């Protein structure tokens, strides 16, 4: 008889126990992966700015700023400050440039310097800056609208219309606000006649320019007729104004022009961005979502306001609206419509012309309108000889 095999009694050490992980000792071990650290969110790389621009970023917004127009505006602003300082210091009564700046900015200095700077020269410089800026903006918009460098408020009849109506207001009444109102009315009348006779706001090219020249000639004849029929005292008061001058300008008219610039300058910048599309054909601009006719009407109305209010202050200053946009384009290069740089260039040119008129034949003063006409005449001839003509319907 077989006996069952003996089995050794189990000792306490042989008792199956559980590991620290809670599994029996005989169970195969399983590697538990360690928890991964949270993945850091990587921001997408910022694309590099195109050549000639730099990126201005604040928070989640970024704007591309073109370098060349920015540098051109800075140079023109510094030049404007320099020319303004010279205009404050130079004259029949000389004032040191630092003393002139101290009197103009801080209002301190000798009584003589304060009288010359604050009462005589600063109002003249204020009028010159605002008039030049308004003419520069109006010229830039008109040239871009018509696609012709020769199309300005001078050549399309706006200035002559404003002059005729303003002279009628000066001769008939001495109210200080009347020239501004009548000049705006005259500029608007000339614009409506030019548009109607040239085929509407969509007409481009030399037809618009030639019709404007005819309308301007008619209003010039009306101005001469009003002066010849007016009383001698009223005619003498109006004639000096029709030449174009910054001497003893009405502060009320200057204030009205400043308010007009505060409204029209931002509007002109916005319109200038849309005018870039009008460099293509009307069909392309319409396909890109631009309402061509309302845009042209808005540009023309802005030009009328700027030109009319400028003429109400200083009279018809020729060639400023022609030369300032061209100089701005040469400084900024191809790209956006140079509205702001045209305003700065117009202000610089107006102050330079006034400075030349006050100093070149001192103590005799030449009106600024004559200086701009003499200097701008050769420039106009150069433009006529170098501009390529194109037939338009």
**pLDDT tens-place values along the chain, 393 residues long:** 445 555 445 444 444 444 444 555 555 555 556 566 666 555 556 666 666 676 777 766 777 777 788 888 899 999 999 999 999 988 888 888 888 888 888 888 888 888 888 888 899 999 999 999 999 999 999 888 887 788 888 888 888 888 888 888 888 776 656 677 888 888 889 888 888 887 765 555 577 788 888 989 999 899 888 888 888 887 887 777 788 888 878 888 889 999 999 999 999 999 888 887 776 666 777 777 778 788 888 888 999 999 989 988 888 888 899 889 988 988 888 778 889 999 999 999 999 999 998 888 877 888 888 888 888 778 777 766 776 544 333
Tell which residue, 73, 102, 29, has the closest CA to residue 328: 73
For 92-141, give the DSSP string.
Answer: SS---HHHHHIIIII--S-HHHHIIIIIIIHHHHHHHHHHHHHHHHHHHH
3-class secondary structure, 292: helix
Burial of 342-362, coded b for 16+ CB within 10 Å and e otherwise, reads bbbbbbbbbbbbbbbbbbeee
The number of C-alpha atoms within 13 Å of 385 and in the hemisphere containing its C-beta is 6
Strand pairing of 53-58 and 61-66?
A: antiparallel
CA distance 87 to 132: 15
Whether residue 159 contacts residue 376, with contact meaning beta carbons closer than 8 Å, is answered with: no
Q: What is the dihedral of CA 139, 143, 144, 149, to 10 degrees?
A: -130
CA distance 38 to 124: 69
The continuous run of DSSP H or E covering 57 comes out as: strand 53-58
3-class secondary structure, 88: helix
Joined together, the tokens standing for residue 330 give 């040469």
CA distance 88 to 117: 6
Backbone angles phi, psi at 56, to 5 degrees: -110, 105
CA distance 159 to 167: 12
CATH of domain 98-385: 1.10.3470.10
CA distance 349 to 320: 7
The continuous run of DSSP H or E covering 56 comes out as: strand 53-58
pLDDT tens string 49-65: 666 676 777 766 777 77
CA distance 353 to 366: 10
Phi-psi sector, 65: left (phi>0), alpha (psi -120 to 50), beta: beta
3-class secondary structure, 376: helix
pTM comes to: 0.81
Any idea where the domains of the chain sit in the sequence? 98-385
Q: Give the number of other Cβ atoms within 10 Å of residue 213's Cβ.
A: 16
Tell which residue, 142, 86, 104, 91, has the closest CA to residue 247: 91
Whether residue 102 contacts residue 109, with contact meaning beta carbons closer than 8 Å, is answered with: yes
The single-letter DSSP state of residue 288 is T
């Amino acid at each position: 008889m077989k006996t069952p095999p003996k089995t050794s009694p189990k000792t306490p050490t042989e008792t199956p126990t559980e590991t620290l992980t809670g599994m029996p000792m005989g169970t195969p071990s399983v590697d538990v992966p360690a928890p991964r650290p949270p993945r850091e969110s990587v921001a997408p790389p910022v694309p590099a700015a195109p050549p000639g621009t730099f990126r201005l970023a604040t928070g989640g917004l970024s704007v591309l700023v073109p370098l060349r127009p920015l540098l051109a505006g800075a140079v023109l602003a510094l030049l404007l400050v320099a020319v303004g300082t010279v205009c404050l210091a130079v004259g029949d009564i000389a004032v040191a440039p630092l003393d002139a700046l101290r009197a103009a900015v801080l209002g301190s200095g000798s009584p003589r310097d304060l009288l010359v700077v604050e009462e005589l020269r600063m109002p003249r410089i204020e009028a010159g800056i605002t008039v030049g800026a308004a003419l520069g903006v109006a010229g830039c918009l008109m040239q871009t609208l018509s696609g012709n460098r020769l199309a300005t408020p001078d050549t399309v009849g706006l200035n002559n219309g404003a002059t005729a109506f303003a002279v009628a207001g000066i001769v008939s009444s001495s109210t200080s606000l009347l020239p501004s109102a009548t000049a705006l009315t005259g500029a608007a009348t000339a614009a409506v006649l030019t548009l109607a006779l040239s085929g509407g706001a969509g007409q481009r090219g030399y037809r618009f320019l030639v019709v404007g020249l005819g309308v301007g000639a008619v209003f010039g004849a009306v101005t001469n007729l009003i002066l010849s029929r007016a009383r001698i005292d009223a005619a003498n008061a109006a004639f000096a104004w029709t030449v174009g001058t910054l001497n003893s300008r009405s502060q009320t008219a200057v204030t009205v022009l400043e308010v007009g610039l505060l409204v029209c300058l931002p509007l002109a910048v916005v319109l200038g961005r849309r005018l870039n599309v009008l460099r293509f054909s009307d069909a392309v601009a319409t396909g890109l979502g631009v309402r061509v006719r309302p845009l042209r009407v808005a540009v023309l109305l802005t030009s009328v306001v700027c030109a009319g209010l400028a003429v109400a202050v200083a009279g018809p200053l020729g060639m400023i609206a022609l030369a300032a946009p061209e100089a701005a384009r040469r400084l900024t290069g191809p790209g956006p419509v140079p509205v702001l740089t045209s305003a700065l260039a117009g202000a610089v040119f107006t102050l330079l012309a006034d400075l030349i008129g006050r100093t070149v034949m001192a103590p005799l003063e030449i009106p600024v309108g004559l200086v701009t006409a003499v200097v701008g005449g050769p420039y106009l001839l150069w433009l006529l000889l170098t501009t390529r003509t194109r037939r338009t319907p």
